[in-house]
Structures are given as C-alpha cells and as structure tokens.
C-alpha cells in the first residue's frame, strides 16, 4: 500500500480545490447540490476556521486537488469539538486517509480537554455514518432541517471523550 500524502493545515488558497471536493461528494447523492452561497467559509477556509479557534486539515491529491479534509471547531459552551468538512475523494476512501484526519481532530479535542466530539451529517450520507460509528460516534436523537437548496436533513452524532480531568 502506498503511503498517504502528508496532512497539512488548510490555507485560504485551498478555497477552489476544497469546493471541488465537496461538490464532487455531493454529486454522488440524488438532489444534493453544492452552491457557493451556502458555504461562505470556503472563500477563505483557513481564516474561517482560525477565527473560530478551530483547524481545518487537508490532504493533497497527487493531481493537485484535495484528497480529503476535516475541520474541528471548539464549542466551549458545550465542552465539545464539532467536526465539519469531513470529505474524502472516492479514490482515497478505504486507504486510512479519513482515520488519519480524524486522529488530528481527536488530538486537537484532547489537547483542549473537551468532553466530547460531535457532528451533523446529511441523512443521505450512509457511508459516512458507518465510518463515524466505527470511530465510536453514536447517532443522537433528533434531526435538523437546513432549508438549503438540497432540502437537507441532518443526523446528529456524538462521541464522548475520556480525556476530561
């Protein structure tokens, strides 16, 4: 197996390739559409995450695009870290890339002594849900509706962390 490309922190110049990765991921599902206006944080992704005290990790693809991404943002009022922008190019799924990105977020959460990690995921993304459950996330009761162009409903997932002292 070929070694994974290195993980790095996002730069604002990752805007277009990150949008391309997300749009391609959405295109795998019926009636799931990428619209720039619904993702203003993608115009300057590194700045957007830094302004919230978070981090966005990227793995570059050999073709110059982005093979995968994962962001983590602290939610101090909930003593949690929220994961967002969890995407992997289909060519890199099953290679350990997503687990490596998740390890970065887990280290971030543990360093901040947060009690849990959480995320919201489109109800259509069943493959992602299986991945989250494999990592120890559990689906929480309730769903939320985004009223976006894709009429998205999301499931809530949470994972308790044992690092709290």
* Cβ count near 45 (within 10 Å): 23
Residue 2 scores a pLDDT above 70 = no
The gap from C-alpha 3 to its chain's centroid, in whole angstroms, comes to 22
User: According to the model, what pLDDT value does residue 136 have?
Assistant: 96
> CA 128, CA 133: separation in Å to the nearest integer?
9
> CA 109, CA 79: separation in Å to the nearest integer?
10
48-59 pLDDT, tens digit each:
999 999 999 999
pLDDT band with cut points at 50, 70 and 90 for residue 4: confident
DSSP state of 2: P
> CA 97, CA 68: separation in Å to the nearest integer?
7
Beta bridge partners of residue 66, listed in sequence order: 60
CATH fold label, 7-160: Aminopeptidase (3.40.630)
User: According to the model, what pLDDT value does residue 8 have?
Assistant: 98
Residue 98 scores a pLDDT above 60 = yes
What are the residue boundaries of the structural domains of the chain, listed by start?
A: 7-160
114, 73 Cβ separation under 8 angstroms: no
Backbone φ, ψ for residue 45 (5° rounding): -60, -40
Conformational region of residue 79, where left means phi above 0, alpha means psi within -120 to 50, and beta covers everything else: left
> CA 152, CA 165: separation in Å to the nearest integer?
37
Name the percent of the chain lying above pLDDT 70: 97
- Characterize the bridge pairing of strands 7-9 and 66-75: unpaired
DSSP state of 45: H
- pTM to 2 decimal places: 0.94
């Amino acid at each position: 197996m070929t070694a994974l490309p290195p993980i790095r922190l996002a730069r604002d110049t990752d805007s277009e390739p990150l949008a391309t990765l997300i749009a391609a991921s959405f295109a795998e599902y019926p009636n799931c559409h990428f619209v720039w206006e619904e993702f203003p944080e993608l115009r300057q992704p590194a700045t957007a995450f830094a302004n919230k005290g978070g981090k966005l990790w990227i793995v570059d693809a050999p073709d110059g695009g982005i093979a995968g991404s994962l962001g983590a943002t602290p939610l101090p009022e909930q003593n949690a870290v929220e994961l967002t922008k969890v995407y992997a190019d289909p060519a890199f799924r099953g290679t350990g890339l997503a687990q490596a990105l998740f390890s970065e977020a887990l280290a971030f959460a543990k360093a901040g002594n947060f009690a849990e990690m959480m995320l919201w995921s489109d109800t259509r993304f069943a493959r992602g849900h299986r991945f989250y459950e494999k990592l120890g996330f559990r689906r929480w009761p309730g769903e939320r509706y985004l009223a976006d162009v894709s009429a998205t409903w999301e499931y809530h997932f949470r994972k308790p962390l044992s690092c709290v002292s």
